[in-house]
Amino acid sequence: MTSRERVEAALNHRRPDRVPIDCSGMRSTGINAAAYGRLKRHLGIDGEPPHVYDVGQMLAEIEEPVRRRFGFDVVPLEPWSSTWRSREAVGQWKPVTFWDGQTIAFPADLPLELADDAWYLTDGQGNRHAKMPRGGFYFDGMGRIEVSPSLDIPMPPLESLRPPGPIPDAELDWLRERAKAVHDNTEYAMLGAGYCGGFSAGFGGIPWQDWLCLMVMEPDYCRDGLLIMAEGYARRLAQLEDAVGDCVAAWMVAADDMGTQKGEYFREETFRAVIQPAYATVCQWMRKHSRMKSFLHCCGSVYHLIEPLIEAGLDCLNPVQTSAANMAPERLKAEFGGRIVFWGGGCDTQHVLWREPPAVVAEHVRERCRLFGEGGGFIFCPVHNVQQNVPAENIVAMYDAVA
């Protein structure tokens, strides 16, 4: 099979010739830039220094020699503004020396301040808004979390809510051109992202801690506000379907973490009453009007939300955090296999990938492929991104084991 055929089979719960592999199809299935640089040296692949396309998470752009080496099947489709601040800077990079001595490259128009004790992201006028301390892995936001001393929870009138507006024509043209080039000149499947937000964190600027209370106190108000947002996202999905729907395998309808290590943020009953209708709006629109599958990124222990998400029409769940409570792969496959695509869960990044020897990593991955891959419905990627401290040998063992 070609990559596109392989992914399409898995998405439609048919058995492909092998398990499809996603590496960096979206910003939670990638590789940290420092680890990627070591991987390239381990493989003997020369060329450009790692390109950091996601600065906050320090994720590397995957190059074609690496993609071919491991048989990766999925490439991303996202707005240019996700990486660059200006259209003129697209494709341009500026190299710097990282903490470990290797060269990495940031987007050319990134306002980056390099100090001895830390690196800072600025707003272009010198005001710092994110910091990576010396020896750190990521840029962390520097804003303060304001907690109101008042017991009055803000509830903006629903009639004042502004649903997400249309995607500008210039951005649709960019996506259309890029999608057509990938579709016509390669055999890769595409995963689209952008223009749709999550629902579990609320709307209208309501602080998150207040939103959690409101979902219990005013469920109808919260549901109706989320439906307003969901209808705006559905209109955007209609634009995306018209522009790239014939080329793209799946589109990310939300990045919406709803679980901790031990359980969901809220009860299943609250999810069904407040949030599920919004998911049904966007997912059912896609099922009725698009061949693209709906994709949700949702970290944590979300076992009790999977059934209502399936009922809402969701097609693909990522990252399938199998180290969290109630998320054992055997249980997930037995209860939900054939009804939702597991886009992830292929390797435990929390306990296995970074600290076990390569042979153990490989056997762990083979077992996950056996568990999740039976009958299709599985696209391999580890649980979230490959982190900076993962040895190159373990990365090779993980991806080679899939084949």
In-domain check, residue 337: yes
pLDDT reported for residue 145: 64
pLDDT reported for residue 318: 98
In-domain check, residue 121: no
In-domain check, residue 10: yes
Residue 174, pLDDT above cutoff 70: yes
pLDDT reported for residue 403: 86
Residue 39, pLDDT above cutoff 80: yes
Residue 311, pLDDT above cutoff 80: yes
Reported pTM: 0.96
Q: Strands 293-297 and 250-255: what pairing?
A: parallel
Per-chain mean pLDDT for the chain: 96
The CA-based angle 386-387-388, given to 5 degrees, is 130
Token output for 370: 């056996």
Contact by Cβ (8 Å): 163, 170: no
In-domain check, residue 335: yes
d(CA 16, CA 6): 5
Q: Which of 11, 22, 14 is nearest to 71 (CA)?
A: 22
The CATH number given to whatever domain includes residue 44 is: 3.20.20.210
pLDDT reported for residue 126: 86
Q: What is the four-CA torsion angle of 105, 63, 356, 345, rounded to 10 degrees?
A: 110
Q: Which of 168, 151, 8 is nearest to 74 (CA)?
A: 8
In-domain check, residue 240: yes
In-domain check, residue 389: yes
Quickly state the pLDDT bin for 150 (edges 50, 70, 90). Answer: low
In-domain check, residue 96: no
Over residues 112-123, the mean pLDDT reads: 94
Over residues 185-204, the mean pLDDT reads: 96
d(CA 348, CA 43): 23
Q: Strands 128-133 and 140-141: what pairing?
A: antiparallel
Question: Domain residues for 301?
Answer: 3-89+164-402
Residue 151, pLDDT above cutoff 80: no
Residue 148, pLDDT above cutoff 90: no
In-domain check, residue 193: yes
Q: How many domains does the chain have?
A: 1
Over residues 285-293, the mean pLDDT reads: 98
pLDDT reported for residue 227: 98
Residue range 322-350, pLDDT digits in tens = 999 999 999 999 999 999 999 999 999 99
